Chains A and B, each alone.
Chain A
Amino acid sequence: MADGQRKLPRRTVVSAVGAGAITSLAGCQGGGSGGSVDESAPLISHERFGKGDTSLVYQTSTFYTPIEDQSDQPAAAPALKQQHEEWADNHPDYRIDVEYPAFGQWKNNLLTSAAEGNAPDGSTLDSKWVADFYEYLQPLNDYVDDIDDFFPFVRETAMRDGDLLAAWKYTGCRCLYYRQDVLDTYNNGDPPVTWEELLEVGQAIADGEEMDAFMFPSSSALANLPYFWSAGGELLDESGAPVLGADANRAALVDALAFIRDLVETGVTPQRVASVEEIEFLPREGRAGNLAMFVGNNDQIERNIKNPIETDDEIPDDRWERWKVAKIPRPADGEHTTGVGGWTEGTFREGDDGAAAAMKSFIGKFAEPESMGRYCEAAALLPTRESVFDDDELYDPDTPYQDRFREFLQDGIARPPRPIYSTIASEYVIAIENVVTGQASPESAAQTMITNVADEYDAT
């Protein structure tokens, strides 16, 4: 380097970097609403839907932005954009100012602001959050048509005293994934229907193949609650109080945990199932030829099985078709059930005039058959309205096994719509892990869970 070349003084560099950082941070603070929108601005943007002078505040996730470039789910963005454009055209005096809260703090901050009376006008809500917001959410009955068209679990969870409090815009269910070619060899091609069949077929596979027979996502309560529900168990009574201690429910809980223990003790399921946290782990094991059956989410056939196989140069594209779906096995004398989830939209704005009506109309559009069908088809998700499945004009996705999933949804059970559910879920997962790892018997794990849930309920 030439001697004569001037070096930037260190202080100058530090000052410049500091000033740049402060300017950037100040820029991040911008974006506030207020005032009218420039006429040349687009009708729909990442931060704003509509161009009216009256602002409504709405919180959502970047997963649901209508702008493809900003979206975590770009394939579905055009469907959302069309939906929001329709709303904006019909409500020219209003605009939605959109906030995208950090996901980790979103629910707690929303709860705090709702309790203080400062909630935004509307928000996207995980279906499992809805119960925590019952007392703050405003009815949508006048803005959502044909409520009876929703699957039963929607009406049971999102309605209180006849009021629809959340627009459930899509759902998903849990099911049994199985390798057809393996089952052809070991069970005449049929997937196991009952626990006994699963144990029997699973042992034959474990003995005869270099693979694990069956695994389940042990850290997901919703994926494993069907064992309990199918055994006749109920978590809460009508008032929302936990009833796990009742004889029939205790027996169902012990039965479910004993079934899980049997899976591990017979070698059908390896103990390492206790370390399964990521939902992608099980299909990855399946694709690698290490697993014959697993419990997974409906969207995994597309996302974790079909797509990775089709993009893998070394595996023939049609190999994903070896994977089929079936109902989650149940006790011989029990009914099939499956856990369902999904996301909803709700409004905190009281009243039915002016801004409140505009906000409720915006929220209600998420549950309209047209917008629901467009969005679910683009995002490869399941509609919550039965009629949407019937209409190929509205919903005709390439995703496999839609008819099976629709069938499973008839037996869908959502997370119980009460705050105590979060304790029930975490205690159930701990009980399962304790049984799988041999730290507790099914009876003692069930008793610990029952006691902890009751204590938590009494304390709150």
Chain B
Amino acid sequence: MDHPLPWLAPTLVLLAVFQLYPMVEAVLMSFTNESLVSPDTEFVGIEQYARLATDPQFWEMLRVTAIYAFSSVVLHVLLGLVLALAIDYGVRRGLRGHLTTRVSVLLAWIVPGIIIGLVWKVMLVESQFGAINYLLGLIGVGPVPFRSDPTLALISTIVAGTWRGTAFSMIMIYGGLQRVPQRLYEAARVDGAGRWNRFRHVTLPQLKSVLFVTIVLVTIYALNTFDLIFALTGGGPGRSTQVLALFMYQEAFQDNALGRGASIAVVMLVANLALTAVYLYAFDVSEEI
């Protein structure tokens, strides 16, 4: 039983059936005009991709998706890092409240995105019935058009997504912090390194592989975000918060054009793979993972 195949076989079979097969099906479907309302399906080559490439709205949605994903990655990782460092600091010094902090942050993560979207939607109602506008009204501000102003609507989706997703980054980075050997910090102290230098030259390099995995996963999560935005803004006002995942849903399940929906899914897959390759190159962690 020295050969790895028997150990890997169950996983490979499951991956092939539940991941690879649907993916291949989606790619094949993207070269057809398959529709939910028509039994006739024809091979149309790259027509669906050509249509996307010449559609100015697709590029606008790509821009919105890029802004959402980039902002999400930066905010998730930065806030996750800050929270993880704060909790790690609290744990090491035996401060009270670190468990409560972890649990409360995690609560946001375990709630489904569609619920988060609805909760934020209720909070951001643009009248006295919205919690945030009600509170702002008490100090004479507002009502703020959180969902009816195109720019504020996009910011609202980013904030809601960050509120939910930061917990994941925090868990990952906190786990990474536990693996940093204390002797490295002690050696740095002996060398006269201050807090910033210990963070810069000990913590960050030690977290590199964890940060890589976190950023890759957060990027995939952000690029594929659907439920939260669907519930919070539905892509509006206009198309100001319409990301590619929403566009894919609309094409496949509202316009019943499965082929077109599949082509958008394939574009998203390629974007995910390309960004992962960029991260792999930038972080230079191929030997560590």
Contact = CB atoms under 8 A, between A and B. Distances in A.
B8 interface: no
A456 B255 contact: yes
A436 B236 CA distance: 12
Interface in A269-296: 271-275, 277, 281, 284-285, 288, 290
Contact of B57 (A115, A423, A452, A459): A452
B238 A272 contact: no
B176 interface: no
B51 A111 contact: no
Contact of B148 (A111, A274, A423, A460): A274
Contact of B150 (A419, A426, A439, A452): A439
A361 B122 CA distance: 46
B60 to A, nearest CB: 11
B169 interface: no
B197 interface: no
Contact of B255 (A275, A422, A436): A422
A430 interface: yes
A457 to B, nearest CB: 11
Nearest to A218: B237
A342 to B, nearest CB: 21
B148 A437 contact: yes
Contact of A423 (B35, B145, B147, B255): B255
Interface residues of B, number: 34
A156 B15 CA distance: 51
Given A274-B237, A433-B236, A426 B129 contact: no
- Chain A CB count within 10 A is highest, among B128, B153, B240, B250, for B240
Interface residues of A, number: 35
Given A436-B148, A452-B57, A419 B37 contact: yes
- Chain B CB count within 10 A is highest, among A219, A273, A281, A433, for A433
B119 interface: no
A2 B74 CA distance: 53
B38 to A, nearest CB: 7
B284 interface: no
A182 B125 CA distance: 25
Given A111-B256, A433-B237, A439-B238, A275 B39 contact: no
B57 A132 contact: no
A271 B149 CA distance: 8
A423 B145 CA distance: 27
Nearest to A272: B126
Contacts of A459: 51, 257, 260
Contact of A275 (B36, B148, B253, B257): B148
B127 interface: yes
B238 A460 contact: no
Contact of B37 (A115, A219, A285): A115
B238 A434 contact: yes
Interface of chain A: mostly helix, strand, loop or mixed: helix
Contact of A419 (B39, B238, B256): B256
B254 A426 contact: yes
Interface in B29-45: 35-39
Given A285-B127, A419-B256, A437 B39 contact: no
B261 to A, nearest CB: 12
B239 interface: yes
A399 to B, nearest CB: 26
A430 B250 CA distance: 13
A23 interface: no
Nearest to B259: A459
Contacts of A277: 234
- Chain A CB count within 10 A is highest, among B36, B57, B128, B260, for B36
A272 B145 contact: yes
- Chain B CB count within 10 A is highest, among A112, A271, A437, for A437
A290 B127 contact: yes
A459 B55 CA distance: 13
A134 B23 CA distance: 33
A194 B36 CA distance: 42
Nearest to B48: A459
Interface in A425-441: 426, 429-430, 433-434, 436-437, 439-440
A282 to B, nearest CB: 11
A28 B137 CA distance: 49
Given A271-B148, A452-B57, A460 B239 contact: no
B36 A111 contact: yes
Contacts of A422: 254-255
Given A290-B127, A426-B250, A436 B256 contact: no
A108 B253 CA distance: 8
Interface string A67-92: 00000000000000000000000000
A116 interface: yes
B249 to A, nearest CB: 11
Contacts of A436: 148, 237
Given A108-B253, A275-B126, A456-B255, A437 B237 contact: yes
Contacts of A111: 36-37, 256
A433 B147 CA distance: 11
Nearest to B55: A455
A290 B37 contact: no
Contacts of B127: 272, 285, 290
Nearest to A273: B148
B128 A290 contact: yes
Contacts of A272: 126-127, 143, 145, 147-148
Nearest to A422: B254
A281 B51 CA distance: 38
B36 A430 contact: no
Given A108-B36, A272-B143, 8 more contacts: A116-B39, A273-B148, A274-B236, A419-B256, A423-B255, A426-B254, A430-B238, A460-B257
Q: Which 3 A-B pairs have the closest CB atoms?
A: A275-B147, A274-B148, A272-B126
11 contacts: A108-B36, A108-B256, A271-B149, A272-B148, A274-B148, A275-B125, A275-B145, A422-B255, A434-B237, A437-B237, A439-B238
